[in-house]
Structure 1
Amino acid sequence: MRQQPRVLIVEDEPAIAELIAVNLRHNGFCPTWAMDSASAQIELDAVLPDVILLDWMLPGESGLVLAKRWRAHSRTKDVPIIMLTARGDEQDRVSGLDAGADDYIAKPFSTKELLARVRAVLRRRAPEQVGGVVAVGALSLDASTYRVTYGDEALKLGPTEFKLLHYLMTHAERVHSRAQLLDKVWGDHVFIEERTVDVHVKRLREALGATASLMIETVRGAGYRITSQVTAVVKSKASA
């Protein structure tokens, strides 16, 4: 039997937490509730969830502080985080994404939309397993083994950054708008804001390092592209 995805709900309002938990349980998820930062850390240390629903305003440390800490820790850095908060203006959303959240949903929200976003981050967690190696200059990505290298240096990327880089490399030199990247990489842009792309491009550049990050260009008013003087070469393992 397939294991139910585990969802850690970090929410200090019992009524909201119970509503979320009931809907998750009825839709094939296994929810766990923590009402503050301390109990959330205890739950996280005990069992690593598949998704974290994290309220911004919590007793003790805020959700923003927790998101930054979990993103910085090797054990939790790849667990998808959806921020839940009543703070809905653009700067707050940007702050949440910059702290490491994968998505952001403002209260009040419908449980149907929340479930759709949970499913969306789970789909994005693992990159598509497309065989073959794609190379742009000294940058190489092997989708089968989930390895990225620049020259002789191995690079570590999160799942979303890996998918973003894979798409850019397989469409090198082309300029892609934020909407196009959301459609092709996330596949669920109805729920995700375009500003999310900027945050993940920033993370991708940081993961690539000072030299390789220069290959990711921002084209003002248009979007992003990956570029190199070397033509991208795709070696498909399936091809003769």
Structure 2
Amino acid sequence: MKTKILLAEDDVDFGMILKQYLELEDFEVVWFQNPADIIPVLSADFTFHIGILDIMMPNIDGFSLAKMILKEKTDFPILFLTAKNQKIDRLTGLKIGADDYIAKPCDPEELILRIKNILKRVQPATPENIISIGSYQLDTEKLLLSHTAGNIRLTIREQQLLLHLLKHNKKAIKRDDILDSLWETNDYFTGRSLDVFISRLRKYLSNDPEIKIQSLRGIGFEVDFPTP
């Protein structure tokens, strides 16, 4: 899932350049030239991960807009854009609850770094043994596949196969390569065993329709696991 950015910037040229650059970095950007247009969004399905707000905007300045957003979404991270590198801007933004600010015109690479640093601070760290697979989470230490519909305790072989498929996500995987890697042998019986394990994984992961483990005739399998 892409990080979704709320961008409030009334300068058309700067806003367009900034939006295009952020999208090149694989962010999803919703750009509001008129900050007043953001107000109705607050009471709707607010799915943004971070806000980038210009301070100097007509009708509603960035500080006032931030107060409105934080009143509804108290933990929403905000980075201010300002053409004035003045102390009062820093203090006001910090008092409101801003996470960072950057002066315009800004270095795009510095902006990207600041965005990523903010997201690291506000998003809970994921333990190294936890892997997200679509709407599932796999705890590799506990061999536990978790979902809101229920949890499943995997066998060691099931987890090994799932991790192998995940390693080759969105690629064609040869049956022979799986058997040689996990079973270290390739005969009729291990081939049948592989088919059984594939069927189990399909069943375990069936609560997420976006997850696909497709058989490729004469080749093996192709998997599509949505990942963050």
Q: TM-score when scaled to structure 1?
A: 0.49
Aligned-pair CA distance for 1:90? 1.5
Mapped pair 1:112 → 2:112: no
Say which SS state the counterpart of residue 12 (structure 1) adopts: coil
Counterpart check, 1:15 vs 2:19:
no
Task: Give the drift of 1:43.
Answer: 4.1
| Stretches of structure 2 lacking an aligned partner (at least 5 in a row) | 128-228
Which structure has the larger Rg? 2
Q: How many residues align?
A: 126
Q: Residues 184-214 of structure 1: CA distance to partner in whole angstroms, max 9, x if unpaired?
A: xxxxxxxxxxxxxxxxxxxxxxxxxxxxxxx
In structure 2, what is the Cα distance between the partners aligned to 1:9 and 1:33? 5
1:33 partnered with 2:31: yes
SS in 2 for 1:42: helix
- Listed as ranges, the gaps of 5+ residues in structure 1 are 131-240
Distance in 2 of aligned mates of 1:48 and 1:33? 14
Deviations 1:53-88 (A, max 9, x none): 001111211110111222222xx1111100001121
CA–CA separation in structure 1 for the residues paired with 2:77 and 2:103: 17
Per-residue deviation, residues 22-75 of structure 1 (Å, max 9, x unmatched): 1111111000100122112234434321110001111211110111222222xx
Deviations 1:106-139 (A, max 9, x none): 1111111111111111111123468xxxxxxxxx
Tell me the secondary structure at the aligned position of residue 101 of structure 1: coil
Task: Letter of the 1:12 partner, please give it.
Answer: D
2:91 pairs with one of 75, 94, 103:
94
Task: For residue 32 of structure 1, give the secondary structure of its aligned residue in structure 2.
Answer: strand
- Where in structure 1 do 4 or more consecutive aligned residues deviate above 3 Å? 42-47, 127-130
Alignment of 1:47-86 (within 5 A): 47-73=46-72, 76-86=73-83
User: What secondary structure, in the 3-state scheme, does the structure 2 residue paired with 1:7 have?
Assistant: strand
Q: Give a deviation string over 1:144-199, Cα, whole Å, max 9, x none.
A: xxxxxxxxxxxxxxxxxxxxxxxxxxxxxxxxxxxxxxxxxxxxxxxxxxxxxxxx
C-alpha RMSD over aligned residues: 1.6
Amino acid at match of 2:39: Q
Q: Write the letter of the residue equivalent to 2:90.
A: R
Kept after mapping to 2: 8 A contact 1:97/1:104: no
Is 1:125 aligned to 2:125, yes or no? no
- The residue type equivalent to 2:97 in the other structure is G
| Secondary structure at the counterpart of residue 71 of structure 1 | helix
- The separation in 2 between residues aligned to 1:6 and 1:129, in whole angstroms, is 19
C-alpha distance 124-59 of structure 1, shift in aligned 2 (>3 A) = same
Q: Deviations over 1:209-237 (max 9, x none)?
A: xxxxxxxxxxxxxxxxxxxxxxxxxxxxx
